[in-house]
Structure 1
Amino acid sequence: MSRDDDPAASWRRLAALTPARIALGRAGAGLPTREVLRFGLAHAQARDAVHTPLDADAVRADIAALGFETLKAASAAPDRATYLRRPDLGRRLDEASAVALAAAAGDPVDLALIVADGLSARAVHEGAVPLLTALKPALAGSGWRLAPVVVATQARVALGDAVGALLKARAVAVLIGERPGLSSPDSLGIYLTFDPRPGRTDAERNCLSNVRAAGLKPDFAAFKLHWLIDQALSRRLTGVALKDESDRQLAGPEGRGVLEP
């Protein structure tokens, strides 16, 4: 039998291309011990990602080191256990944060950026600063007026609507830890909403998902996010009416991508 005709070799080649659980093998009627242990480790990492608290002070310090002003906020969920049981509370600001953000608001701005723990503080710890580092040059050249970056805890995506409204932002981008998968406990999501205000629906947002070293790379995510923000502000909309066509800008004069793969 040639190598090309060997089913096991074909599965191994496929398994090398993806972190998905394929070609695991078998031991009798069950899985090999190594795969059972790998699954247990992945499950533990996903649980840790959900329950580990965000080090908001460290994240704010790292973002400030990039040259961004920062503010802090918290949702109406008083603790992590309540946050996980009551998603509705994670969508609302607590009273102290609402007062503080309203007091900090100045003139209207074009964009508010929010860094939120969501369901994976690990994603924020590992991914937020690389993404903002990649995004900063594009923001600097855009001429947009920016609000201070808000670092929010016990937050859901819709918390950005309240924050954006209080900061008088035309658009808000929420960088948030996504629900961990068994191969991706460190995935960061980005949700962009034009004209943020409480009551916005998910159909009115654009999403970039799986931002991490093993997924959508930070520089590519920053490129796509900048394109979406530019289109949102010029066309005055986000969501299902705004399709991500940023890839059309990647073809250079010789057919090569503008960004490194």
Structure 2
Amino acid sequence: MKPPVTRDPWAELRARTPARIALGRAGPALPTKAVLDFALDHARARDAVHAAVDWDALAGQLALPTVRVASAAPDRATYLRRPDLGRKLAEGERLRPAPQDFLLVIADGLSAAAVQAHAAPLIAALPADLRTGPVVLASQARVALGDEIGERMGARMVAVLIGERPGLSSPDSLGVYLTYEPRVGRTDAERNCISNIRPQGLGYEAAAARLTWLVREALKRRLTGVELKDQSDLGLIGPLAHRAVP
């Protein structure tokens, strides 16, 4: 005897991925549930772009000294319309030189939710010699703002932890952009990127291991970017004492 309800052959696959697959149809259109799910995910992505980071709460989670700076974009609306302003510090920002091999910058980017949820756990997963302060907290910031910050502070290398552009299945994805010898004018080809850091993507421990490997190798080879290929799956090299000769 045939069962009263036919089993959906796509159900198991849909349960294993956030991708929109086998949505079905209602006549010539999508089913109501698929339309409502899309609208909800779109709203979450928009909220992530427009939300603000609670910097005080984040600083408290870090348990490290912090420095606050802002880009030249005076507000969120300007930041979204003028990406160039998010790449330079606001006029009058003063940063005290603090020469160090590795500087952490946390930037809100395009997803406050990503920064609020994942920046502190990622830093906590790093080895002790990479969890040094001060950590720079940068509002209305783009990736390239880390170049000016690192140059002014005299850092040998800067890692910018930033909220990535939200997707319809990932409004809280954190990215890390690593740049050796940061200075104004660096290009994206001179950076290494680790993306989709979140529990549903690349986990904190895996991301920290990858970043640690890249930092060690960048200091050894004196470069980042297209010439530094991620081979972290081959194992980590030694502690930060493994530095390039000045």
Normalising by structure 1, report the TM-score.
0.85
Measure, in 1, the Cα distance between the counterparts of 2:119 and 2:208.
Answer: 11
Contact 1:147 1:169 in 2 (8 A): no
Within the candidate set 196, 203, 208, 2:194 is matched to 208
State the partner residue of 2:104: 113
Contact 1:83 1:154 in 2 (8 A): yes
Measure, in 1, the Cα distance between the counterparts of 2:15 and 2:178.
Answer: 34
The number of equivalent residue pairs is 231
Amino acid at match of 1:79: D
Q: For residue 53 of structure 1, report the CA deviation from its aligned partner.
A: 1.1
State the partner residue of 1:192: 178
The answer on 1:123 being equivalent to 2:86 is no
Within the candidate set 78, 82, 86, 1:82 is matched to 78
State the partner residue of 1:70: 66
Contact 1:117 1:152 in 2 (8 A): yes
Unmatched tracts of structure 2, length 5 or more: 1-5, 237-246
State the partner residue of 1:170: 156
Could you report, residue by residue, the CA deviation over 1:21-72 in whole angstroms, capped at 9, with x for unpaired residues?
Answer: 0011111111111111110100000000000011112211221x2xx21101
Secondary structure in structure 2 of the residue aligned to 1:184: coil
Normalising by structure 2, report the TM-score.
0.90
The answer on 1:92 being equivalent to 2:88 is yes
Identity over aligned pairs, percent: 62
Q: For residue 95 of structure 1, report the CA deviation from its aligned partner.
A: 2.0
The 5-angstrom pairing of residues 240-259 of structure 1 reads 240-249=226-235
Which 4+ residue blocks in structure 1 deviate beyond 6 angstroms? none
Measure, in 2, the Cα distance between the counterparts of 1:212 and 1:205.
Answer: 21
Secondary structure in structure 2 of the residue aligned to 1:181: coil
State the partner residue of 1:46: 45
